Every structure is written in C-alpha cells, then in structure tokens.
Amino acid sequence: MSHARLRLRHDVRRAASAFARAASAFARPAVLGALSCACASVAPPELPTERSSTFGTVRGTSPERVAYVARVLDELAAQVPFVIPGCEPRAVDVRLVGEMSHANWSGATYTVRERRWMELPEGESNTRLSATMAHELVHYQLGPDWSTLPGIVEEGLCDHVAHTLVPEIAPLERAQYAVMLGTALDGSYRFNAERLVGRGRQSTFAPEIMTYTLSAQLDASAMPTFDDALRYDSRDLETLRAKGVRGVLDALGFLLVSRIGPEDLYTLCRRARMQGLAKVPPEWLYESAGLAAENRTGWRSAIDQLLGDAEKRALLRQEGLQFARTP
C-alpha cells in the first residue's frame, strides 16, 4: 500500500455550503409532540387532490404524483412491521407540499392534539421521497411499548428502517455519520481508501491506498455530552440549532441502533417501561451496544465499522467536497 497522503479538508466557507446541502439532503427532523404547544393552531395544509390507499390517504397538487406516492405508501407501510417489532397500525395522512416549513427539512411528522400527519416535499426525487417516508413512518407507527426510547435513538431507529427499505441511500448516510462522530470524538476522522481520480459523480478510483482526513462542520462548544443527549426528548431535539450538533446526535442514535438491533432495543424499552423509568438509561444502551462510555478506542472502532468500501466510495464521490494537498 502506498503511503502517499492526501489531506482532505473543507475550506471553512465552502464547508458551510457543503454541509448545508448535506443537511438539506439528509436531515429529517421529526416534529413530534414538540409543536403541540407552540403551534397548536398549525393544521394540515389543504390540498386539491386526494387519493386513498390501503394504509391511508395522500394529498397533493399533481394527480399523477399523488397516485405514485399512494403506491409508495402502501409498499413501505406494509414492510415497517417486518423490520421492527411493536408497531401499531395507524391510517397515515400524507400531505405533499410545495415547500417544507424549514428549508433544511426533507420531511416531518406533525402531531397537534389528536391529529397526526406527515408532510413531504412533492417535488422530491423518488428515492429521497421513499427514504424520507420510510423514516417518518417509523415515528408514525411506533407503539406504546417504545415510549421509553430516547429521542435520538428513535431517530436512529427511523434511519435504520429507511436504510433497510431504501438501501440506495444507506452508504452515503452511514459515511456521513462516521465523519460526524469521528469529528465529535477527535476533531476529524481519518481512514484509508483507494485513490480518488477526478471529483464528484464522474470520479473513479485507482487501486493505491491513500489516507484521508475529513472533518464535519461542528460547533463543538455547543455539543452536549452523549449522556445528556440520550436523555433528551423529541422536544429538546427541535431546539438544537448549533452547527452540526443535531447531525452528530442523529449519528449517535444510528450507531447505537446499528449495534443493538431493533429486537434487543425493543426489549430494553419494555424493561424500562416495566420499571417505571421515563427513558432507557444511557448505561443500558452503551452496554447493549458493547460500548463502554469511557472507552475511546472502542468508540473509534465502532465508528470504523460503519465505513465499508461502499460507504468510502459514496463519501469521496460526494459533490462539494474540497481537497487540499498537505505539504
């Protein structure tokens, strides 16, 4: 293997825009009970076209799009209970909107008093729309035995289901999560991969192995401890605005779910509920994930396990990365 090194870094200003795009493509904050107080007057948007399906109703402006999304809803909603236990069937109310209320959301599930509905951007690509819907369906369908699941682990569970049902989106998202967690832990994330030839989607790979160092944009001063973050509920998550923090917490939730698995996680949730705990304690999660809270080597190796060859390739070919050769 060649030891030639390419240091890959984001220029600060370029990085901001790169991660804004990444956020728009990948951040899918769930708006759960969080808006019930502040926005009790929020109502589902009125839309002219409506289509009923086995699992609910889809509304939007384009009859063709609404019919397509109704088929996607039936396909995905039927599969979620096969990926995770403890789902509760609910009729799903999908609203295809022109624009999300926050520019960097790619979907949201609203719960206002007894009403619940899902908003998705009508013009989204088919793959992205399916992945976002799969993620949101988990928020929608989790039954009462999941009530002790910490908010960020719920996000991880939603991503796990989205990756299972829409595998095309998984490699890049897993890679981004590895970089975010590595940045939170060590300030940057280093890995070996084949040499990238060219940039962006047109690029290819040459067989020599290079070392890459990547860092995500993160306001580390605003980063809560993982223990504190695991005690947040969904309402707390909605208030996180500091750069990169929400992404790192989503990544943490995903890492834990990927190591614990939905069945064992469900067992932890039911045990916590039986013991009258509000949430599954962080220590239970670390233990079940094989991660001692203090063992940084163990965390690094767990992060490395997120990053296989497909993940490295997806990450390095991402549009908007800026490379700089170190002296």
Residue 87 per-residue DSSP state: B
Minimum CB–partner distance for residue 250 and Zn ion (Å): 8
Q: The tokens of 284 are what?
A: 């239970």
Q: In a 3-state reduction of DSSP, which class is residue 121?
A: strand
User: The sheet that has 49-53: what strands, in order across it?
Assistant: 49-53, 56-60, 92-97, 115-121, 108-112
DSSP string computed for 273-292: HHTT-SS--HHHHHHHTT--
Measured from the CB atom, the residue of 158 and 306 that comes closer to Zn ion is 158
Residue 182, CA atoms < 13 Å, CB-side half-sphere: 23
Minimum CB–partner distance for residue 108 and Zn ion (Å): 8
Minimum CB–partner distance for residue 32 and Zn ion (Å): 8
φ, ψ dihedrals at 220, nearest 5° = -60, -25
Q: In a 3-state reduction of DSSP, which class is residue 321?
A: coil
* CA pair distance 262, 254, nearest whole angstrom: 11
Interface with Zn ion, residue 237, by CB under 5 A? no
Residue 124 per-residue DSSP state: S
Closest-by-Cβ residue to Zn ion is 30
Stretch that binds Zn ion, among 43-51, 65-73, 79-87, 151-159 (CB under 5 A): 151-159
Residue type for position 254: F
Stretch that binds Zn ion, among 26-34, 37-45, 116-124, 282-290 (CB under 5 A): 26-34
Stretch that binds Zn ion, among 50-58, 90-98, 120-128, 157-165 (CB under 5 A): 157-165
Minimum CB–partner distance for residue 139 and Zn ion (Å): 6
Minimum CB–partner distance for residue 313 and Zn ion (Å): 26
Tell me which of 32, 108, 158, 306 binds Zn ion, using CB under 5 A: 158
Minimum CB–partner distance for residue 200 and Zn ion (Å): 28
Tell me which of 18, 22, 27, 30 binds Zn ion, using CB under 5 A: 30
Q: Which helix (H) or strand (E) holds 18?
A: helix 12-26
Q: Which of residues 84-123 bind Zn ion (CB under 5 A)?
A: none
φ, ψ dihedrals at 165, nearest 5° = -85, -25
Interface with Zn ion, residue 157, by CB under 5 A? no
Interface with Zn ion, residue 27, by CB under 5 A? no
Q: Applying CB under 5 A, which residues contact Zn ion?
A: 30, 155, 158
